[in-house]
Structure 1
């Protein structure tokens, strides 16, 4: 169902392109209800598998690292029979020995065009069960990072649902409130908060994972289209991507505890028509403080700690839709409208000892608790990320001076 190859030197592909996969199934306009886009790509928590929604209701699961010369080795095809909009591997960490067999298996959840969520066993490729309840397509899925079988789904029916797969997903908690399609969701690393956004709603919603209640909005002062959100590995930052079709995109870093906007990043103002580089997805690396964001024009990776653009690649390749880091942070995958997946080498960046100490503290300590500590002001500003530049233009490599 796919082909994999290293790009020959004559093609002059970027040096950081490791591999790309192309689906062998081509778009047939007579096949309604199934499309060729790659809406989601995911690596498994341990990094040993890669899942790819390759269009036409098909999902491919590959062993990783992938043998470039044998793209179909140790792979499975899942026929979901509906357009697949979202993928999620779980549980995110190893489970205890006293759990039943299915809970010990690595699972893959697929969000479908008809509102259903299918849960598959990765080792066998068998369908475990189907979750029903959403009244419109499931746009995003994410498992709780704490290793439980808790799955959160975001849907165009304007709801979030929290499923307990240990109980086969019965009687999920339903979070209502938005008046628009729920487009994306993310769970904090300590599994205490859910962040969600609606495509046509100029604010972000924060929900409690403990009480299943609404907490607060992160509100913008002017109209924008919301695209994606993700928590930093320590949970102290929440990145949000949004855009206005006439002025370009913004990348904002918020404090999810205090609802303070810490920094606002705008795209390169020298790159001609900024409306052509609308963002589609963003993701924090599990390693260090690297933030990747994909738009229609390029893949960029920003080192937030050092305030450097370390990757600016995949140029002039229209239709990028999604991106996902490998758990080790060395590779990032991007999916395209034509069904392709590309794998890019991520520059090796060693986090500073200061940042590692900050991350270890912030993983379990809120901003309010840090601010109550009897520490010098400069240390408190560092621990709460208040020392970052408040506003900046992220220049591309072409215009970097």
Structure 2
């Protein structure tokens, strides 16, 4: 069903960052038909597995890295696996790793779950090792666009849908205890959860709302965009920084795209990246994601596979060649960084060598502090202005951004 292209120099001589490409081998009857898009990709929490929706209702899971020898002793099944979902798959996410029960247990894979969100509103939960469906979640009445498990390791699944609702499922109780969050007036394009699991952000594609939700009370905190908008624009993607102190959102208006950086605690817009998308025209930003260190932001556009921006610095530190024959739709960093996967409109997946920067000591201190300290808690402290601006990312606004 899939093949590996591992000679990037031959495929894309102008893209030295391309590591390899997984291509889908489709039956002739499916070639050229709609529904072959890779709408979602994901790495397992430990980085040992990679999954992507290759179109036509099929999800493929492979061991990562592809030449890994781990588990070849027969104790762990590391063979490629496919899951036939019956309907187009728009969202997928690996479940959390279950802690080891004993010293004799050498792998978490036996309890690794994969959630898939389908076009008909159904969510199917799979056992990665056995390839068996273990649970169906019913409730959404439209395309399940995004799925995610909060980073606290619980069996909690968050789903967003084109039916304008979010649902929070407790898989430990077979999804019976579900919270339904309503507030958007149209399709929900994307959702993300802060690192401390206190907040969730969502963007509405057509209602132009950036909503913050409490994952403790399951209530709407605020709409960052306010309520009055005279200019028509769309919102496509969002992501929290690893420390939860920044929220990035991607938007479009007229013939230009931009990325806003917000303080989710105060609703203050800190910076906007716009200059570098003027030549993209009508080609939208499909997906954005912060790197595991929080030093970079990956940007996938409809005519370029990947761009990398370092917040606070002008220009893009990496940008792949424009290519309309294989449009980018989604992206995902490996949990340990260094590699980023992008899904394309033709059902393929490309793996890119992502920029790696050793975090400065002050950045690591800020990330550790901001993981548990909000902006409101920092404001009353007698900090020097420059330190306060650095800790709250206000220094980003001083860079060459609008």
Query: Does TM-score exceed 0.5, indicating one fold?
Result: yes
TM-score, normalised to structure 1, is: 0.90
Distance 1:393 1:304 in 2: 10
SS in 2 for 1:171: coil
For the pair 1:233 / 2:242, whether they are aligned, the reply is: yes
Q: Contact 2:8–2:16 at 8 Å: present in 1 too?
A: no
Q: 1:339 aligns with which of 333, 336, 347?
A: 347
TM-score, normalised to structure 2, is: 0.89
Q: Equivalent residue for 1:380? A: 388
SS in 1 for 2:223: strand
Distance 2:131 2:369 in 1: 40
SS in 2 for 1:276: coil
Q: Equivalent residue for 1:59? A: 59
Distance 1:61 1:314 in 2: 28
Distance 1:341 1:348 in 2: 21
Distance 1:371 1:310 in 2: 32
For the pair 1:83 / 2:88, whether they are aligned, the reply is: yes
Distance 1:8 1:241 in 2: 30
> What are the superposed Cα offsets for residues 204-246 of structure 1, whole Å, 9 maximum, x if unpaired?
01110000111000106543100000000000000000112x3
Q: Equivalent residue for 1:24? A: 25
Q: 1:327 aligns with which of 326, 335, 344?
A: 335
Distance 1:269 1:58 in 2: 33
Classify 1:162/1:376 alpha carbon distance in 2 versus 1 (closer, same or farther; 3 Å): same
Distance 2:278 2:204 in 1: 30
Q: Contact 1:203–1:217 at 8 Å: present in 2 too?
A: yes
Q: Equivalent residue for 1:359? A: 367
| Structure 1 unaligned regions, length at least 5 | 395-401
RMSD (Å), alpha carbons: 2.4
After TM superposition, the structure 1 = structure 2 runs for residues 1-400 of structure 1, keeping only pairs within 5 Å, are: 1-7=1-7, 9-11=9-11, 12-25=13-26, 28=29, 35-67=35-67, 74-91=79-96, 93-95=97-99, 97=101, 105-219=111-225, 221=229, 222-244=231-253, 246-268=254-276, 271=279, 274-298=280-304, 299-304=306-311, 306-307=313-314, 309-317=316-324, 318-389=326-397, 392=400
More displaced, 223-232 or 20-29?
20-29
Classify 1:129/1:239 alpha carbon distance in 2 versus 1 (closer, same or farther; 3 Å): same
Distance 2:8 2:246 in 1: 40
Classify 1:95/1:215 alpha carbon distance in 2 versus 1 (closer, same or farther; 3 Å): farther
Distance 1:123 1:307 in 2: 45
> What are the superposed Cα offsets for residues 165-214 of structure 1, whole Å, 9 maximum, x if unpaired?
01011131000111101221101110001101111021201110000111
| Structure 2 unaligned regions, length at least 5 | 69-76, 103-107
Say how many residue pairs are matched: 383
Distance 2:10 2:32 in 1: 36
User: Alpha-carbon deviation of 1:277?
Assistant: 3.1
